[in-house]
Amino acid sequence: MQQRAYFSFHDLKPDAGSFLQDVIAGLSRPRKAINPKYFYDERGSALFEAICSLAEYYPTRTEIEIMREHGGEMAQHLGPGCTIIEYGSGSGRKTRMLIEEARPAAYLAIDIAEAQLKTAAAALADAFPRVAVAAVCADYTRPFALPRLASTKASRRAIFFPGSTIGNFTLAEARDFLRLARTQAGTGGAMLVGVDLKKDAAILDAAYNDAQGVTAEFNLNLLARINRELGADFDVSAFRHHAFYNADLGRIEMHLVSTRRQKVAVGGKLFGFSEGETIHTENSYKYSVGEFQVLARDAGFAPQRCWVDPASLFSVHFLSTSD
């Protein structure tokens, strides 16, 4: 068996204090909210992988179809011997497809879910022994220093951000995030990003309200995680999942709805809920191709190419830095 070229793990994960502070701050708002990045503990990551295989959830399979059809062209745009830096690496299925086509010199997986990150990155290191692989447990929405890898002569840094996660940010947050990505890509760098497209509301509503209730379980697991890791006392059964398309804002909204009046203790603080009050847990903004390209330009990228599936459900954009 051929040995790995290089594999390393770097733990820059935010501590539990950051989690607690963010939850308390979110529940203290007039309209309660919790950042969706906290969905992804080990259980949440497994549930999201299950969501990706559901019949109603089109983004994953559609993006994979786009990559299968156009992967060679994407690799040509990236160029040989690049360093692929993936934000939110997940299970690594799309990553394997890109590495097979692009044959990079190095690959950096960045994710906040430590257990899944280690497993997926190590599997990629075994599958591609000629690629230097590093796993970085970090919050990729905040600035951090990339680790130095074993000596590689990478021609450019290429950010890989599949899965439409860009839609979880507000427009202002997305612009700031893209600016951060552009800084990490550096001079002569690039970004390959998946973007969900605007479409019929019925398709969107079905994707976030699956018949098996997996998305509901994923949403409610956030409260279970807060109980487990922060010692809170949420009665998870007293909340229900609610997701809908907000046409005026062009986004899916996901909420947890309190089914009765109740009080919840978190970190020594008490939070009251009225019946019907919600915790806003996620947005998923949808873009037209032109809207996203304007956003990318505002962040300092130069849009170069966009691939869209025949049904116009999903898009993958190739951006370059404009230095």
Q: What is the DSSP string of 207-254?
A: HTS-TT-HHHHHHHHHHHHHHHHH-----GGGEEEEEEEETTTTEEEE
pLDDT interval class at 14 (50, 70, 90): low
Q: Is the pLDDT assigned to residue 146 strictly greater than 60? A: yes
pLDDT of residue 143: 86
pLDDT of residue 128: 93
Q: Is residue 215 part of a domain?
A: no
Confidence band of 152 (pLDDT split at 50, 70, 90): low
Query: Are the C-beta atoms of 220 and 212 separated by less than 8 Å?
Result: no
Report the phi/psi class of residue 195: left, alpha or beta, with left for phi > 0 and alpha for psi in -120 to 50.
beta
DSSP state of 165: G
The domain that contains 97 carries what CATH number?
3.40.50.150
- CA 109, distance to chain mean position in Å, is 12
- Render pLDDT for 27-44 as a digit per residue (tens, 0 to 9): 999 999 999 999 989 899
pLDDT at residue 104, rounded to an integer:
94
Average pLDDT over residues 205-214: 97
User: What mean pLDDT do residues 68-89 have?
Assistant: 93
Residue 257 lies in a domain: no
**Any domain includes 130:** yes
The identity of residue 111, as a single letter, is: D
Which residues contact residue 167 at a Cβ distance below 8 angstroms, ignoring those fewer than 6 apart?
195, 196, 251, 283, 284, 285, 286, 287
Residue 129 lies in a domain: yes
**Within a domain: residue 107?**
yes
pLDDT tens digit sequence for 282-295: 999 999 999 999 99
pTM of the model: 0.92
Domain count, the chain: 1
Query: What average pLDDT does the chain have?
Result: 92
Q: Is residue 293 a part of any domain in this protein?
A: yes
Q: How far is CA 109 from CA 134, 138, 220, 242, in A?
A: 6, 10, 27, 32
Q: Taking Cα atoms as reference points, which of 316, 91, 304 lies closest to residue 194? A: 316
Share of the chain above pLDDT 70, in %: 94
AA letter at 187: T
Q: Domain for residue 181, yes or no?
A: yes
* pLDDT at position 116: 83
Between β-strands 106-111 and 132-137, what pairing exists: parallel, antiparallel or unpaired? parallel
Query: Does residue 24 lie in a domain region?
Result: no
Q: What is the pLDDT of residues 217-273, one digit of tens each?
A: 999 999 999 999 999 999 999 999 999 999 999 999 999 999 999 999 999 999 999
Please tell me the distance from the alpha carbon of residue 275 to that of residue 215, in angstroms, as a whole number.
22
Q: Which residue has the tokens 């950010």?
A: 159
Buried b (16+ CB within 10 A) or exposed e, 126-162: eebeebbbbbbbbbbbeeeebeebeebebebbbbbbb
**Distance from C-alpha of 94 to C-alpha of 90, rounded to nearest angstrom:** 9
Range(s) of the domain holding residue 315: 6-12+54-199+286-321
